[in-house]
Each structure stands twice: as C-alpha cells, then as structure tokens.
Structure 1
Amino acid sequence: MRILVLGHGKTGNLVAEVAHERGHGVHVLDAKENPNGAALTAPFVAGFDVAIDFTTPEAVQTNLRALLANGAKVVVGTTGWYGSLRDMRDLAERRSASLLYGTNFSVGVQMMLQLAKEMATSLRDAGYTFAIEETHHVTKLDAPSGTAISLQQAVSAGPNEVPITSKREGDAAGLHILEARSDADRIVLTHEAFSRRGFAEGAVRAAEWLAGRTGVYDFRDVYAQLKR
C-alpha cells in the first residue's frame, strides 16, 4: 500500500518506520508542507491508499475535512477533536470515504478498557469508588488524555462521575492508572507504555484493515479483527 502519514512528530515518524517495516510505501507530510490542509488536494490524495493522522487537535480537523471530502480512507490517532466527530462522520458517509478513529491504538490499552468495564460492573454496587490518573509527555496538548476519558466512560454510571488527574512530565509515553477503593481495600489497574511503538503498530495495522472498507469505525470495536 501507499500510506500518507500526516505529522512529523515522534509518533508520526515511528508510524512511518513501522509502515516501512511492514512493506508499505510511505510519504510523510509535515505541517510546513500542509498549511491549513492546502496540500490535500484531490490529485494528491488519490495517490495514497490510506492516510494516518498524528498531528494536533487543531490541525486534524482541517486535514479530515480535506481528506474525507476527497473520499479518502483515514486513520486518526490524534485526540482532542471529538466534538467534531458527528460532522466528520456525516462527511465520510456523504463522500463514501472511510474513517477509523481511536483514543489509543495500543492493543494493551484496549484490553485495559475491557477489564475496566468488568471491574465497574462487579464492584460499583459493592461500595467501591473509582479514580483515574494519567501521565504523558509535556508536549501532549490535550488533558485529560483521550484514553483517560475512555476509561472514565467505561467505569462511570453518569457523566464525569469518576475524577481524572492529569500530569505532564518529561517524555513519558503514557501511564494510565484506574483505582477502585473501598473502606476495606484497594484495587489498581495500570497500563504503562514504555515507548510509542505500540501506538504506531496499532495505527498501521488499522490502516491495513481499513484499506478494503468504507464506513466509520471506532478502534475499540475492531482491534480484535486486526492481523499481525
């Protein structure tokens, strides 16, 4: 496949590296080459099978409008833009484009979300309360993280019922901690990323999966279908 990678940061570069390792042709487009999505013209977009976006919450919305309007297949690893999800979903459907988004493309995090739901179902009526803590690198723009919000949704009976504490430290790849506490004990579920490679591998595998499909998908609903 020919993959277009939007974003020249640490994760975007690693996505390009992983895509090369898996035998794909890759073109990386950084922000200077694509001001306000100007580079994403129909002829340019037509040269790629899938685009993968790891940019910023501001840039991703402009990129998505341009890509989806041209019928592209797009994997979005950027978070902080979900207020526009409905508009992007409608655009993808009108243009017969493809959109696969997710708060976290790590398979390990997806398993954590499943376990969090089971914990909430089993423990909420047993007198436990929940809290979430997340730590990321200092350059991460959105707080709380998309993954922390997904955890909150997994264990909350109502909106914002579970508090989230966000920290930004050094070059931390990502640490998420879910605590369930009662008067008698404490249970802790933790996912710690040692590098960004798990996110990059998940994004590239998602692009391979999306290449033959049209529609809008959430990564947590399809990750089990991805092939190594």
Structure 2
Amino acid sequence: MRILVLGHGKTGKLVAQVAAERGHGVHVLDAKENPNAAALTAPFIAAFDMVIDFTTPEAVLSNLRACLATGAKVVVGTTGWYDALPSMKDLADRKGASLLFGTNFSFGVQAMFELAREFAKALPGYTFSIDETHHVTKLDAPSGTALTLKKAIEDLAEAEITSIRDGDAAGIHTLKATSQSDTISLTHEAHSRRGFAEGAVSAAEWLATQKPGTYDFAEIYKGLVPK
C-alpha cells in the first residue's frame, strides 16, 4: 500500500517505520507541512491507498474532514475529538469513505478493557479508581484510554481518573479496586510506543480490504492479534 502518515511525533515516526518494515510505501506530513489540513487536497490524497493520523486534538478534525470528503480510507489514533465522532461517521457514510478509530491501538490495552469489566463485575462492593501516566507532551488529559477504561465499567462502578504527565512515559494505566481489607490492581504498562504503531498498521492493512464504513478498533482487534 501507499500510506500517508499524518503527524511526525514519537508515535507517528514509529508508524512510518513499522509500515516501511512491512513493505508499504510511506510518506509523512508533519504539522508544519500541513497547517489547517492545507496540504490535504483531493489530488494529493488520491495518491495514497490509506491515511493514518497520529496528530493532535487540534489538528485531527481538519485532517479528517479533508480526507473523508475525498472518500479516503483513514485510520485515526489521535484522541480528544470523540465529541465529533457522529459527524465524522456521517461524512464517511455520505462520501463512501472508511474510518477506523481507536482510543488505543495496543492489543494488550484492548484486552485490558475486556478484563476491566470482569474485574468490576467480580468486586461489586469495592471502590474503583483509575491512574494514568503519559509523557509531558501528551495534550489531552485524561487520556482516551483512561476514559475508555472508565466507560468499560460505568454501569457497574464509578471511577475517578487521576492523570499524570511525566518525562517520556509511553503510557501506564491502572484500574484499582479498594476495600477496607485490600486493594487489587489491573495495570497495563507500555514499554515503548511500538505496540501502538504495530496495531495501527495492522488496522490499516485490515481496513484496506473492507467495504466503506466506520469501524471501532475495539470491535475488530482480536482478528489482528499475532498468533
């Protein structure tokens, strides 16, 4: 495939690297080259089979509007924009585009979301909380992953989120259940950002074979986990 990667930050660089390792052609646009999605003209987008966005909450909606309006296939790993998801889904439907989104493209984190629900179901009398730590340059807080973790248990338990921005942390998420007698923790710690990049490229390879529509990574990831 010919892949356009939007965003040249830490994860965007790894997405480009992983895609190239898998034999895809890759072109990267950083923020300076694409202010307000100015570079994303229809002829430019048409030169690519897939777009992967790892930019910022401020840039992602302009990028999505420009790409989806051309009927492009887009994987978006940026978070902090989900209030606009219904309108982006509508745009994709009207233009025959494909949109695959996810709050986290790590296979391990997706498994954690499922485990969290069973965790909360098994401990109905406990008090729950969520701690999340990311690098200091991450702009949205709480993280999309922490919000998804909270949503996973919302009909079983309430959970306050504590967000920490520290150093170059790739991402640590902990769901705690506390009683007077004990505390039990469910933690996912990313050792690097490569897991996110591999998941995003796997998602792009999957999306390339699907009919137009909007897809949630949480609903399709199991078929992509390496055997």
Query: Under a length normalisation based on structure 2, what TM-score does the superposition of the two structures give?
Result: 0.97
Structure 2 unaligned blocks of 5 or more:
none
Amino acid at match of 2:163: S
Tell me whether 1:208 sits opposite 2:205 in the alignment: yes
**Deviation, structure 1 residue 227:** 6.0
SS of residue in 2 equivalent to 1:163: strand
Matches within 5 A, 1:36-75: 36-75=36-75
User: Which residue of structure 2 aligns with residue 133 of structure 1?
Assistant: 131
Cα distance in 1, alignment partners of residues 186 and 225 from structure 2: 27
Q: CA RMSD in A?
A: 1.2
> Displaced runs of 4+ in structure 1, greater than 6 A?
none
Which 10-residue stretch deviates more, 199-208 or 115-124?
115-124
The answer to whether the Cα contact below 8 Å between 2:107 and 2:225 also exists between their aligned partners in 1 is no
Q: How does 1:120-159 map to 2 (within 5 A)?
A: 120-124=120-124, 127-157=125-155
2:217 maps to which residue?
219
- Can you list the C-alpha shifts for 1:198-226, whole angstroms capped at 9, x where unaligned? 00000000000001221101111110122
Q: Secondary structure at the match of 2:159?
A: coil
In 2, Cα distance between the equivalents of 1:156 and 1:185?
A: 22
Residue correspondence of structure 1 range 42-191 to structure 2 within 5 A: 42-124=42-124, 127-157=125-155, 161-191=158-188
Q: Which runs of 5+ in 1 are unaligned?
A: none
SS of match in other structure, 1:23: coil
CA distance in 2, matches of 1:148, 1:10: 20
Q: Quick check: 2:133–2:172 contact (8 Å CA) kept in 1?
A: yes
Identity of aligned pairs, percent?
71
Q: Structure 1 residues 62 and 4, CA, compared in 2 at 3 Å: closer, same or farther?
A: same
Q: How many Å apart are 1:183 and its aligned residue? A: 2.0
